[in-house]
Structure 1
Amino acid sequence: MRSQLTDYGLEFNKIPLYCDNKSVIALCCNNVQHSQSKQIDIIHHFIKEQVENGVVELYFVRTEYQLADIFTKPLARERLEFLIKKIRMQSMSPETLEKLADEEEE
Structure 2
Amino acid sequence: MENAKPTGTPMSPTTTLEDDNKGKSVDETMYRGMIGSLLYLMASRLDIMFSVWRCERFQSAPKESHLTRVKRTIRYLTRTTELGLWYAHSNNFDLKGFSDADFAGDRIDRKSTSGICQLLGNALISWHSKKQNCVSLSTTEA
> Do Structure 1 and Structure 2 share a fold, with TM-score over 0.5?
no
Identify the structure with the greater strand proportion: 2
- Larger relative CO (CA 8 A, sep 6+): 1 or 2? 1
Identify the structure with the greater helix proportion: 1
Q: TM-score, normalised by structure 1?
A: 0.25
- Of the two, which has the highest radius of gyration? 1
